Structure 1
Amino acid sequence: MRIAVMQPYIFPYLPYFQLVHAVDCFVFLDTVQFLKRGWMHRNRIKLGDKDHLFTLPVRVESRNSPVTDVVFAENIKAECETLKRKLEHAYRKANSWSQLETIIWPLMDDMEPGANFSDFAGKSVQAVSDAMGITTDFRSASALGERTADHYQDYILDICQELGATTYVNPIGGMDIYSPKAFAERNVDLRFLSAQSFVYPQPGGAFVENLSIVDVLANVPLGELGQLLDDYELIPSPAENTA
């Protein structure tokens, strides 16, 4: 079985969904520290001819709070309405605008003050994946066995072992943080997903890459998304330097 483990994000970019699509089981890593300046609760859309950052407000009790302890802030409803207006301004004339109304709107309507961020992020990824025809199984790290490993890599390997994984897939940006030898010793094949360069119809000037999946859904019909989802390569881990 092939698995991937990643933090839960709300409306992440297309390569996140390529990773979901590439595996049999996708584990939301909700047991790690929530980074308030990170990307789990924010992303970018195209507004006019430029990228525009949006943020969904959350409440974090302390700097060391795990993702499971984070909830939506009291102003989440107002911010969702503001984001809807921005999306309408940005994409009302886009080819597949109606997909935002049928897929993204209901998700934003479900965001409530005090609701658990991790639960909702997982729900949103699953909803978008379902709409795109992805059939991957989803799990949460917090619902698996208690973490006993101090080192992050050992924790990932423990998750692989608990789920019976034979292959672990990670975004290619993390190639330097894993030891191929350590994975081989646990009988897990280590692979890295390299997203290929992709371009799709996008209004307003030059193409802006790596925007939120919202941008993709606004511009590409669901029936044509399969080609984009498949536009990646799984690269074997490089031989470990033992010199």
Structure 2
Amino acid sequence: MQPTYLPWSGYFHLASQVDTFVFLDDVQFERRSWQSRNNILSNGQAHLLVVPVQQAPQQTLIRDVLLSCDTPWQKKHLRSIQVAYPSIWKNPQLREPLTEVLEGPHLNLADLNIALISLFFNWLNIGCKTLRASNLGCGGHRSHHLAEICQMVQADTYYSPMGSRAYLEEDQFENFSGVNLKLSEFIPSAYPQGKSLNFVSHLSVIDVIGHCGLDFAGVYVKKGTHDANHN
């Protein structure tokens, strides 16, 4: 999976089901994507947090995207999280490591995102081994690149979100790779969101943590799904 910013619960569901999780940081960066942004809940509505990055050529890989230091965006994001989720801010065991990672000396987007995701893995008791694709030196394009990664880590099964099904089938991933394909679709169920009248789904997992606590969030990301082997 690409290292995205403050990912949603479905991201962590997938990670909770695997032995090895590879951060796909050696693919092209896409502006205005979840790679550099995500939503939290503010006043009952989705509120977008965007990480500013430096201008770069269109073909720049995620691992090479540099953070912009022109504005104090980290403090603004932390302030937004503080206002939206006071329970996180009142708990030093959550506030302090989150602040440390967000304000850390990260030079590029991938390092920041991976550090945040690793923190959430720890909070949610997700114990998969993690690797960075850029350290594996695999070639190929699209599903062929995924196949090379699977072969490099000696995987017999590739676990994929349902949204990737179309191109994996089009490329006949299982046929040429020799790797089993397992598909998962995370269906978010409603949970209490403070005084919000209507449930807002597909927010950063920090929304679940902020409203319901770590114990609930750890169970939530592992449930509410339909998983299936590829036929």
Common fold: TM-score over 0.5: yes
Deviation at 1:182, TM superposition (A): 3.5
Task: Tell me what 2:230 maps to.
Answer: 237
1:105 aligned partner, one-letter code: T
2:217 alignment partner AA: L
- Secondary structure at the aligned position of 1:104 is classed as helix
Q: Distance in 2 between matches of 1:156 and 1:146?
A: 9
The amino acid across from 2:79 in the alignment is: R
CA contact (8 A) 2:188 2:202 kept: no
Residue pairs, 1:58-207, within 5 angstroms:
58-75=53-70, 78-92=72-86, 94=87, 98=91, 100-112=94-106, 115-147=107-139, 149=140, 151-179=141-169, 181-205=172-196, 206-207=198-199
**1:117 is aligned with what amino acid?**
L
What's the offset of the Cα at 1:120? 2.1
Instruction: Between 227-236 and 32-41, report the one with greater CA deviation.
Output: 227-236
Moved over 3 A (4+): 94-97
Q: Secondary structure at the match of 1:178?
A: helix
Root-mean-square deviation (Å): 2.0
Deviates more, 1:196-205 or 1:54-63: 196-205
C-alpha separation between the residues in 2 aligned to 1:18 and 1:85? 27
User: In structure 2, do the counterparts of structure 1 residues 95 and 155 end up closer, same or farther at CA, with 3 Å as the change threshold?
Assistant: closer
Contact 1:72/1:111 (8 A) holds in 2: no
Deviation, structure 1 residue 181: 4.6
Q: Normalising by the residue count of structure 1, what TM-score does the alignment of the two structures yield?
A: 0.86
Change (3 A) 1:174 1:16: same
DSSP 3-state at the match of 1:139: strand
User: Of 14, 29, 34, which residue of structure 1 is paired with 2:9?
Assistant: 14
Q: 1:226 to 1:131 in 2, by over 3 A?
A: closer
TM-score, scaled relative to structure 2: 0.90
- Structure 1 spans left out of the alignment, 5+ residues: 1-5, 239-243
Structure 1 residue identity aligned to 2:209:
L
Aligned: 1:216 with 2:208: yes
2:212 and 2:89 map into 1 onto residues whose CA distance is 6
Asked whether 1:38 is paired with 2:30, we answer: no
Cα distance in 2 between the residues matched to 1:187 and 1:46: 42
For 2:20, the equivalent position in structure 1 comes to 25
Q: CA deviation at 1:119?
A: 1.9
User: Residues of 1 paired with 2:84 and 2:174: CA distance?
Assistant: 45
C-alpha separation in 1, matches of 2:173 and 2:84: 47
Query: Any stretches of 5+ residues in structure 2 without a counterpart?
Result: none
Percent sequence identity over matched residues? 27
Deviates more, 1:197-206 or 1:181-190: 181-190
How much does 1:111 deviate?
4.9
- Mean CA deviation greater in 153-162 or 96-105: 96-105
Query: Do 1:57 and 1:72's aligned partners in 2 also have CA atoms closer than 8 Å?
Result: yes
